[in-house]
């Protein structure tokens, strides 16, 4: 039996933001997901659910509206933290961390940022790496806070 897989995170016409949990950290919930947020506020989250006890791998699509104030907050984070020119995420010598991706499209530019262990680097990295990871985490956390999927916890 073939296990389903998530499609690649891509922004469609009008989408401003994308986020993806590519590989979860060591945790009970092994679900992966993608989120896109359209300029009119439609958030779409597609989740490959892989939770205890069966870890079966069903795909679910969840949608909700992001209020204009929160959409403006995301845009402000991108502007304030120069996320359209963000490059080369710092690395860390740790295992069992999340691999995530952010995609931002504004002002005719698109930037894709892949990160491994973003929150760990924000806490444990060098000063320069911490600052860069904190910027990534600020946008990542703001998007995740809007997403409807709640991971399983023990």
Q: What is the pLDDT of residue 65?
A: 98
- Give the tens place of pLDDT for each residue, 105-141: 999 999 999 999 999 999 999 999 999 999 999 999 9
d(Cα 142, Cα 53) in Å, to the nearest integer?
30
d(Cα 38, Cα 61) in Å, to the nearest integer?
15
71 close to 125: Cβ distance less than 8 angstroms: no
Binning pLDDT at 50, 70 and 90, where does residue 1 land? low
CATH class of this structure's domain 15-146: alpha beta
Break the chain into its structural domains and give their ranges. 15-146
Cα separations (Å) of 4 from 26, 100, 110, 128?
A: 21, 20, 28, 39
d(Cα 101, Cα 94) in Å, to the nearest integer?
18
Q: What is the pTM of this model?
A: 0.93
Residue 2 has pLDDT above 80, yes or no: no
Residue 56 has pLDDT above 90, yes or no: no
């Amino acid at each position: 039996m073939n296990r389903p897989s998530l499609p690649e995170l891509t922004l469609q016409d009008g989408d401003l933001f994308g986020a993806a949990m590519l590989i979860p950290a060591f945790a009970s919930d092994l679900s992966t997901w993608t989120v896109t947020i359209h300029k009119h506020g439609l958030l779409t989250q597609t989740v490959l659910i892989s939770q205890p006890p069966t870890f079966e791998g069903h795909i679910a699509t969840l949608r909700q509206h992001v209020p204009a104030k929160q959409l403006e907050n995301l845009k402000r984070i991108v502007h304030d933290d120069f996320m359209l020119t963000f490059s080369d995420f710092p690395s860390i010598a740790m295992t069992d961390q999340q691999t995530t991706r952010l995609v931002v499209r504004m002002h005719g530019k698109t930037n894709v940022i892949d990160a491994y262990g973003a929150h760990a680097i924000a806490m444990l990295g060098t000063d320069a790496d911490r600052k860069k990871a904190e910027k990534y985490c600020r946008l990542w956390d703001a998007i995740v806070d809007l997403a409807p999927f709640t991971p399983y916890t023990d």
